[in-house]
Amino acid sequence: MINVELLKKISEIPGAPGFEKPIRDYILEQVKPLVDEVYLDSMGSVVALKKGSSDKKVMVAAHMDEISFIVTHIDDEGFVRFHTLGGFDPKTLTAQRVIIHGTEDVVGVMGSKPVHIMTSDERNKAPLTKDYFIDTGYSVEELKKIVHVGAPITRERELIEMGDCVNGKSLDNRVSVFILIETLKALQGKEIPYDLYGVFTVQEEVGLRGAINAAGHINPDFGFGLDVTIAFDVPGAQAHEMVTRLGKGAAIKIMDGSTISDYRMVEYLKQLADQHKIKWQAEILPKGGTDTAGLQRFGKNGSIAGAISIPLRHIHQVIEMAHKEDINDCINLLTVAIENLDQYDWSF
């Protein structure tokens, strides 16, 4: 149904916010044969341009960075302290492997105080990121030869298939990178109405920075955010808390913490999904934002913007899970949305 091997590769390549070069290089390799022009903007976002039959512009944004860490200190015993790049659920860090990207990659493990010697108060409180350190097994002298303050740190996890799902690190937002690449493949040889700017943005996890910059120089007429959303369809969840559910189709964003999608775009996506028999579900995310905000408000003229979201369990944890059918539905919906933009009445 989907190219799991490609998704696995995209998921596992490192790319911390501000340090996206490894994943950027792979994206460039993948998209160059698919479009008319590829360039990097001033912040390092990849802009893949497929020309349309008129001069209007549509921008699709899928951020390539992943929640990560950065080295802030190496103590006299060789233990590494760090700062987060993006939001983490600290309780999921215990005993997890990470990779410090110094002059060479160094594998480490997240360490913390053993439960056996915690006080009762310590055992009963939720852990904080400052309670953790990284143990590499190196002496301080050896470590400082290859790791420096400012080195990025990413999670060490492979992507695997689990039932009807895929499970691995950084599906937020590498699954969207995959979807945008597969959409560009689906559009090969087809005429589209407007110039398509497929933008693989940087630094979303620390404030939508790449999308804001890209929208500023592209100035799109239409914008599609492409990102994950919460699927809290698990034991103990109440129906109103779930946001979305795995296997129920592409999520059409109505709003999130940074954007109220243009109601015209919401209706357009709903109608197309129904017309093409693509499963979809509505998304209202009370907190958290996506590149959709950058698309909507930071071009010179603003844009008619909305988003296609991919339901994701265990979001912003060490591993994340998406349903293969939902991923396929998102590819199909984005493809027809780009192809039919000139067939809809966009008047208020």
Residue from 279, 226, 273 nearest 248 by CA:
279
- pLDDT higher than threshold 90 for residue 264: yes
Residue from 236, 256, 226 nearest 326 by CA:
226
Q: Give the separation between CA 310 and CA 243, rounded to whole angstroms.
A: 11
- pLDDT higher than threshold 80 for residue 244: yes
Domain boundaries, the chain: 4-66+169-343, 68-155
- pLDDT higher than threshold 90 for residue 120: no
Residue from 140, 178, 148 nearest 19 by CA:
148
- pLDDT higher than threshold 80 for residue 269: yes
For residue 327, the model assigns a pLDDT of 98
User: Which residues make beta-bridge pairs with 155?
Assistant: 98
Report, as residue numbers or ranges, the catalytic residues: 204
* Lookup: tokens for 306: 């909305």
* Lookup: tokens for 57: 């512009």
pLDDT tens digits for range 171-228: 999 999 999 999 999 999 999 999 999 999 999 999 999 999 999 999 999 999 999 9
- From the options 2.40.30.40, 1.10.10.10, 3.40.50.970, 3.40.710.10, give the CATH code of 68-155: 2.40.30.40
pLDDT tens digits for range 7-49: 999 999 999 999 999 999 999 999 999 999 999 999 999 999 9
Geometric angle at alpha carbon 102, from 145 and 316, rounded to 5°: 140
Q: How many CB atoms lie within 10 A of CB 114?
A: 7
Residue from 163, 158, 162, 195 nearest 174 by CA:
158
* Lookup: tokens for 318: 């060490």
Dihedral sign for Cα 154, 155, 157, 161, please: negative
Beta-carbon contacts of 203 under 8 Å, excluding residues fewer than 6 positions away, are 17, 18, 20, 43, 63, 65, 209, 210
For residue 122, the model assigns a pLDDT of 75
Full-model pTM: 0.96
The CATH class of the 4-66+169-343 domain is: alpha beta
For residue 175, the model assigns a pLDDT of 98
Mean pLDDT of the chain: 96
